[in-house]
Amino acid sequence: MKKSLILIATLGGIVLGGCKKKFDELGSNPNLPEKVPASLLLNGVETTVGGLQRPWGLEQRWNQFACCNYNYYGNQEYNWGGATLYYTTLKNVLKMEEEAIRGGAVAVNPYSALGKFFRAYFFYEMTMRVGDLPMKEALAGTENLTPRYDTQKEIFIQVLKWLEESNTDLTALIGSANNTLAGDFLYKNDLKKWQKAVNTFRLRVLVSLSRKTADADLAVAASFTAIMNNKVKYPVMESMGDNLQFVWVNPFNKYPVNPDNFGFDATRYNMSSTNISLLTALKDPRVFAIAEPAGSQLKAGYLPSDHAAYIGASPAEDLADMSTKAGFDNGAGYTPGKYSFYGRYRYYRTYTAENTIIVGYPEMCFNIAEAINAGWIGGSAEDWYKKGIQASISFYGIRDGINDFYYLKAGGKVTESGDYINFKVNFDFATYYSQPAVTYAGNNPAGRDQILKQKYLAFFQHSGYEAYYNYRRTGIPAFAAGGPGTGNSGLIPKRFQYPGTERTTNGANLSAALQRQYSGSDNINASMWVIQ
């Protein structure tokens, strides 16, 4: 009997062992790779970065660059809920670093150097949306399902540390034998350009901390000075050719507005007064490229080359009123509207339109000008201010001399050679700059106001929420508020709420963070640390 039990147990072990082996084999899906090249993970991370900059999306309405005039397609309301956070992408950054090492890379390699930049980039973006966040204990997977929240100050200190380390690593890699990078479609594997982007982004982060210059732990002004006084150690962007930008490619990544969706929504959106009124007040040529003359203004006798022909709607306006005033063009008949539509020649005519800047040279120029204006560093704020304006204007192909612009005629077709009406504008930068409203007023509040307004104009359809972040920090330019169109009781909110999943999966730590920051309420109108 004893032998029988032993035999049965032995046979059972053999059977169970066989079953275990088959089960393990079945648990491995040959169609899902368990190991992914670092280059492929980098490609995915960069795609997410590009997605954060999507032009003509909701964030650009909240930046008050454009308006939706038709409730089927949306509105301008700031009734914000939970923010989109990027922990999944950050896990892919960690995996990218791991796979680079597994593939034979040494500890300091291009993927680890860029990994530090991406950590800084995503944590900056996330904290600017909500405030405090899990950082040090985040990304541990099942080892820690309830990470504590780091303060926003701690996050900024770490972001700046990552950027410093990224620059140091890139310096070591450039010219070394360990600098092989693949999968980078943003800079085509050029580490020198990445190093410029890292340091230029760091200037953005430091300027965002302008209310914290007295904090010795952050050393905002000293850090800005260190970068500007040592361009060998900290190279920054030198021209538009250094822009970190997302290039739209047909058919893989079509520009968001294009001939495919023209018939659905081209007249369902119009320009915002916050943007257009500033352009027209400055007699700025960029308005001719990005917008079309309002039909009612043409009917009243204005020429398309007259700045007065361009009118934007207030984002605070009641949506029904905006819809009535916008006019429409269905090809069978045209009702001239009060407001300017998008520049359909530029944006709907092709599938690629224009590149979208993630971190760019014009912004950098204005950030440096602002730092000089504030007394952080020496130098000529006016020189950097002028460079920023000239760079932004050049983005639209506008040069001194005669420039050709186009708008779509009523009932016209949107194609490469569609029914566009040409008009010419003579532009001279010296004349433009000589206007009292444009000429730099000096290192004083009036000069700062000019810098910030020009930076806002340069952000048009670029850099995600940066135009809003700058408004939130400075109040410049004034955003339209107080009416029914913006919702939120007429207020421009100061933050997003935390995602709902945090309440169910990490509720205790979330509650502690809310109590520490916002008296316990996840209030979108409460001020986070960085703007206090």
126-144 residue pLDDT tens: 999 999 999 999 998 878 9
**Quick check: 416 and 353 in contact, CB under 8 A?**
no
Is the whole-model pTM more than 0.85? Answer: yes
How do residues 377-401 score in pLDDT, each as one tens digit? 999 999 999 999 999 999 999 999 9
CB 111 within 8 Å of CB 96: yes
Find, among 91, 63, 94, the residue nearest to 479 by Cα.
Answer: 63
Q: Can you tell me the distance from the alpha carbon of 131 to that of 124, in angstroms, rounded to the nearest whole number?
A: 10
Say whether pLDDT at 513 is over 80: yes
Helix intervals (H) in 396-461: 429-433, 445-458
Give the residue with greater pLDDT, 267 vs 187: 187
- What pLDDT does residue 339 have? 96
pLDDT recorded at residue 413: 81
pLDDT at 494: 98
Q: What is the mean pLDDT of the chain?
A: 92
Listed residue (54, 84, 68) closest to 487, CA to CA = 68
Tokens of 468: 């809003």
- What's the pLDDT score for residue 284? 98
Listing DSSP states for 158-205 in one string gives HHHHHHHHHHHHHHHHTTSTT----S-SSSTT-HHHHHHHHHHHHHHH
Residue 140: per-residue pLDDT: 86
Which of the two residues, 293 and 29, has the higher pLDDT score? Answer: 293
Whether the pLDDT of residue 158 is over 80: the answer is: yes
Q: Which residues fall within 8 angstroms of residue 442, CB to CB, at 6 or more apart?
A: none
Tokens read off for 314: 């207030």
On whether the CB atoms of residues 127 and 155 are closer than 8 A, the answer is: yes
pLDDT at 330: 52
pLDDT at 9 over 50: no
Q: Say what percent of the chain tops pLDDT 70.
A: 92
To 10 degrees, what angle do helices 361-374 and 445-458 make? 170
**pLDDT band with cut points at 50, 70 and 90 for residue 26:** low
Rounded to whole angstroms, how far apart are CA atoms 275 and 311? 10
The yes-or-no verdict on residue 13 having pLDDT over 80 is no
pLDDT at 521 over 70: yes
Q: How confident is the model at residue 30 (pLDDT cuts 50, 70, 90)?
A: low
CA distance 510 to 497: 11
Residue 5 has pLDDT above 90, yes or no: no
Q: Which residues contact 31 (CB under 8 A, 6 or more apart)?
A: none
The pLDDT of residue 414: 84
Residue 427 burial (CB < 10 Å; 0-12/13-18/19+)? middle
- The C-alpha R_g of the chain, in whole angstroms, comes to 27
454-470 residue pLDDT tens: 999 999 999 999 999 99
Tens digits of residue pLDDT in 280-309? 999 999 999 999 999 999 999 999 999 999
Q: What is the pLDDT of residues 38-84, one digit of tens each?
A: 999 999 999 999 999 999 999 999 999 999 999 999 999 999 999 99
Q: Is the pLDDT of residue 368 over 60?
A: yes
Per-residue pLDDT band at 418 (split at 50, 70, 90) = confident
* Phi, psi of 134, deg, nearest 5: -65, 130
The closest alpha carbon to 361, from 203, 252, 249, belongs to: 203
d(CA 114, CA 45): 11
Label residue 327 by pLDDT band (50, 70, 90): confident
At 8 the pLDDT is: 36
- In the predicted structure, residue 10 carries a pLDDT above the cut 50: no
pLDDT at res. 256: 95
Identify the DSSP state of 384: H
| Range in 227-241, 272-286, 329-343, 418-432 the model is least confident about | 329-343
Q: What is the pLDDT of residues 171-195, one digit of tens each?
A: 999 989 888 999 999 999 999 999 9
Q: How far apart are CA 188 and CA 206, in angstroms?
A: 27
Query: Span 469-495, mean pLDDT?
Result: 98
Write down the pLDDT at residue 12: 43
